[in-house]
A and B are shown apart, each in its own frame.
Chain A
Amino acid sequence: ETGVTQSPTHLIKTRGQQVTLRCSSQSGHNTVSWYQQALGQGPQFIFQYYREEENGRGNFPPRFSGLQFPNYSSELNVNALELDDSALYLCASSVATQSLSGNTIYFGEGSWLTVV
């Protein structure tokens, strides 16, 4: 148990639709990152939110957007869904620190999205 919860766990959408995925971060964690994991691949960084602002983005188009709320929970929104968007979407939370030990991120169990 990492304390990171995601919803929904599974969903099916039609190409062209929009989807919103939700994440509650671990208590005390102020940073949320979203990852996409396609079958047979490692997680791919989508973006990160810190203090309700986007704080880094991977190689994903603008139709992938997000929000972070004052309680540090977060949403991932994907517009104009494409078949290739079918994947496991992982939320991860962490604490932004200046520690030399680096920032360990803790994942939720993910939301499986199928686009048909």
Chain B
Amino acid sequence: DQQVKQNSPSLSVQEGRISILNCDYTNSMFDYFLWYKKYPAEGPTFLISISSIKDKNEDGRFTVFLNKSAKHLSLHIVPSQPGDSAVYFCAASPYNNNDMRFGAGTRLTVKP
């Protein structure tokens, strides 16, 4: 059962533009949402998170938006840089539960 879905396997944007990565989930028990970035031959690296009590969390160039009614979250990267090129995973878990569920990932390519 795929409780977290990333429907776009890949995304290509121009350097300096906005990258928007989307994620949908089905389990209404999810309370905590995260984005991870993964380079080849490395483990996923934590990027940013948001709890269900918020609808937006910002950290530098990265902003995560949560729409609980639509069970949808998105990651905005502004401005995009070539070093942002990686696979981005959306993850979700119930509150205080490390049973985290991941999407299949979106490969972002930022072109110079």
Report which A residues bind B (CB closer than 8 A): 2, 4, 6, 31, 33, 35, 40-45, 48, 55-56, 58, 90, 92, 94, 96-110
Contacts and interface: CB of A to CB of B under 8 A. Distances in A.
A115 to B, nearest CB: 20
Contacts of B45: 2, 107
Given A43-B44, A109-B43, A103 B97 contact: yes
Nearest to B92: A102
Interface string B9-22: 00000000000000
Nearest to A57: B99
B104 A40 contact: yes
Contacts of A101: 32, 49, 51
Contacts of A104: 34, 46, 49
A42 B103 contact: yes
Interface residues of B, number: 29
A102 B43 contact: no
Given A33-B99, A102-B95, A108-B43, 13 more contacts: A2-B45, A4-B43, A55-B98, A56-B98, A58-B99, A90-B43, A100-B53, A101-B49, A102-B31, A102-B49, A102-B51, A102-B96, A107-B46
Given A42-B89, A43-B89, A100-B51, A105 B100 contact: yes
Given A102-B93, A103-B96, A42 B102 contact: yes
Contacts of B97: 56, 103
B96 A106 contact: no
Given A33-B98, A45-B101, A98-B96, A103 B44 contact: no
Contacts of A110: 42-43
B89 A103 contact: no
Contact of A106 (B46, B51, B89, B104): B46
